[in-house]
C-alpha cells in the first residue's frame, strides 16, 4: 500500500477529527514532507482535506469518494471482504478475474470510480462514468454446479434491492434476471462470470459484478439508453455511495452464506415485475411474443408461448411486450 493510500486510511479512521502531521508521519514511518506530498496528491484526486496549524489534517466527512476505509466503516465487524480500490479500470469483472486466477481469496472486492469498458450481459456494455456510480466485483469460490449460477445473480439482485430501499428509501423492482428498476428506470445491472472445472462441472471461481447508477452523469446518459437508464439520487444528494456499497456487500454475503436454502426466493419473486405480463423474447435475432407465467425455485422463467406450450428459460434477452 502506498503512502498516499495509507494516509487516506488514517484520515478516514479519524472520522473527521484532526490528525497532526507528526502523528501521521510516525504512524506511517515517513517524513512530514512525505505526508504533505501524500495529502496534496489526495487533494488532486478530489478529497477535501483541511490543514490547520497546530492541529494537522482533517478529511471532510462530506466526501463521496470511495475507498476501502470509507466502505469498511459501514461494514459489520468480522466481515470477510478485502477491498481493492481502482480509480479507473476497463472492467471490475476483468480485474477481479485476474486476481482470482492469481489465487485471490473469496471475499476479495474490486471497486472502481470509473470503468472504460464496463461489462453487461450478452456482450453489452455498462455505462460507468467517473464518480457517479458504484462499480464493484466480488471474487467467489462457490461449491456450485454451473447450471446453478442464476442463484448467485438472484441473490445479488435481492441484496441490491434491499440495500437500495434501506439506504435511499426508493422502492425497487427486479427485471428477470439481473436488472434492478426504480420508477420504471434501470438503476442496477448485475453480471456473473466464472471459470469451471471440466471434471466436476463446478466453479473454480466466480466473479459477481454489480453496477449501480447512484447519480445522473453530468452529460446525461448516452442516447441509446436514455429512455431506460435512471439514477437513484439527484446530483446534489448527500454522500451515500460508501454506505450503499457496504450495505450491498453485507446483505449479499448474508444470502450467499446460506445460498442452498434459497431463502431469498420469495423476495425475488415478489419483486419480479415480468411475472403475469406479456413479454418479448429475443432469440437468434427473432422477437417472439410470450407470457411470463411462473418462476422456478432455480430462478428459471417459465413462459407460455402463443400456442400454449410452456418453456423454462435459464437465461435470455427478455423485455416487456410494450418495449
User: Taking the mean position of all CA atoms in its chain, how far away is CA 272?
Assistant: 19
Distances (CA, A) of 258 to 105, 147, 208, 261, 264: 19, 18, 17, 6, 10
Whether a cis peptide bond, with omega within 30° of 0, leads into 136 is no
**Segment 20-47 mean pLDDT:** 91
Instruction: For residue 285, give every residue at least 6 positions away whose Cβ sits within 8 Å of its Cβ, in sequence order, or none.
Output: none
Q: Which pLDDT value is given to residue 28?
A: 93
Share of the chain above pLDDT 70, in %: 98
Instruction: For residue 225, give every residue at least 6 positions away whose Cβ sits within 8 Å of its Cβ, in sequence order, or none.
Output: 127
Given pLDDT bands bounded at 50, 70 and 90, which one contains residue 323? very low
Interatomic CA distance for residues 174 and 304, integer angstroms: 20
**Could you tell me the residue ranges of all domains in the chain?**
3-59, 68-271, 278-320
pLDDT in tens, 48-84: 899 999 899 998 877 788 988 889 989 999 999 999 9
Query: HEC profile for 276-319?
Result: CCEEEEEECCEEEEEEEEEECCCCCEEEECCCCCEEEECCCEEE
Which of 89-103, 155-169, 280-294 bottoms out in mean pLDDT, i.e. has the lowest? 280-294
**Segment 87-107 mean pLDDT:** 96
**Segment 239-259 mean pLDDT:** 96
**For the domain bounded by 68-271, which CATH number is listed?**
3.30.930.10
Name the helix (H) or strand (E) containing 94.
helix 92-101
**Cell representation of residue 314:** 435459464
Three-class secondary structure of residue 178 per DSSP = coil
Interatomic CA distance for residues 250 and 258, integer angstroms: 13
Name the helix (H) or strand (E) containing 158.
helix 149-168
Query: What is the number of helices (H) and of strands (E) in the chain?
Result: 8, 14
Q: Which CATH architecture has domain 278-320?
A: Roll (2.30)
**Segment 5-25 mean pLDDT:** 88
Given pLDDT bands bounded at 50, 70 and 90, which one contains residue 320? confident
Q: Which pLDDT value is given to residue 120?
A: 76
Residue 122 burial (CB < 10 Å; 0-12/13-18/19+)?
Answer: exposed
**Cell representation of residue 319:** 423485455
Interatomic CA distance for residues 135 and 111, integer angstroms: 6
Contact 171, 247 (CB under 8 A): no
User: Domain 3-59 belongs to what topology?
Assistant: Arc Repressor Mutant, subunit A (1.10.10)
Interatomic CA distance for residues 22 and 46, integer angstroms: 24
User: Taking the mean position of all CA atoms in its chain, how far away is CA 57?
Assistant: 31
Mean model confidence pLDDT for the chain: 92
Q: Which pLDDT value is given to residue 13?
A: 83
Question: Which of 84, 60, 59 lies closest to 71, judged by CA?
Answer: 84
pLDDT in tens, 176-223: 999 999 999 999 999 999 998 877 778 999 999 999 999 999 889 999
pLDDT in tens, 119-158: 877 667 789 999 899 999 999 999 888 778 899 999 999 9
Amino acid at each position: 500500500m502506498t503512502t498516499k493510500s495509507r494516509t487516506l486510511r488514517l484520515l478516514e479512521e479519524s472520522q473527521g477529527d484532526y490528525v497532526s502531521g507528526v502523528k501521521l508521519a510516525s504512524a506511517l514511518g515517513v517524513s512530514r514532507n512525505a505526508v504533505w506530498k501524500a495529502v496534496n496528491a489526495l487533494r488532486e484526486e478530489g478529497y477535501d482535506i483541511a490543514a490547520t496549524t497546530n492541529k494537522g489534517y482533517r478529511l471532510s466527512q462530506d466526501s463521496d469518494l470511495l475507498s476501502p476505509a470509507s466502505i469498511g466503516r459501514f461494514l459489520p465487524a468480522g466481515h470477510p471482504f478485502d477491498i481493492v480500490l481502482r480509480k479507473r479500470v476497463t472492467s471490475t469483472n476483468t480485474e477481479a478475474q485476474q486476481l482470482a486466477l492469481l489465487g485471490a481469496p473469496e471475499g476479495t472486492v474490486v471497486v472502481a470510480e470509473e470503468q472504460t469498458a464496463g461489462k453487461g450481459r450478452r456482450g453489452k456494455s455498462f455505462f460507468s462514468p467517473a464518480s457517479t456510480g458504484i462499480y464493484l466485483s466480488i471474487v467467489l469460490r462457490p461449491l456450485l454446479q454451473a447450471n446453478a449460477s442464476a442463484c448467485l445473480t438472484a441473490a445479488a439482485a435481492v441484496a441490491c434491492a434491499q440495500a437500495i430501499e434501506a439506504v435511499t428509501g426508493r422502492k425497487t423492482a427486479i427485471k428477470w434476471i439481473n436488472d434492478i428498476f426504480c420508477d420504471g428506470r434501470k438503476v442496477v445491472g448485475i453480471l456473473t462470470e466464472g471459470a469451471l472445472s471440466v471434471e466436476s462441472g463446478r466453479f473454480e471461481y466466480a466473479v459477481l459484478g454489480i453496477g449501480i447508477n447512484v447519480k445522473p452523469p453530468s452529460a446525461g446518459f448516452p442516447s441509446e439508453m436514455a429512455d431506460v437508464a435512471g439514477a437513484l439520487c439527484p446530483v446534489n444528494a448527500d454522500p451515500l455511495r460508501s454506505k450503499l456499497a457496504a450495505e450491498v456487500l453485507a446483505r449479499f454475503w448474508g444470502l450467499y452464506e446460506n445460498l442452498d436454502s434459497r431463502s431469498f426466493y420469495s423476495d425475488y419473486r415478489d419483486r419480479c415485475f415480468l411475472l403475469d405480463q406479456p413479454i418479448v423474447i429475443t432469440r437468434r435475432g427473432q422477437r417472439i411474443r410470450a407470457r411470463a407465467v411462473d418462476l422456478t425455485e432455480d430462478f428459471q422463467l417459465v413462459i407460455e408461448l402463443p400456442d400454449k406450450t410452456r418453456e423454462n428459460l435459464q437465461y435470455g434477452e427478455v423485455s416487456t411486450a410494450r418495449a
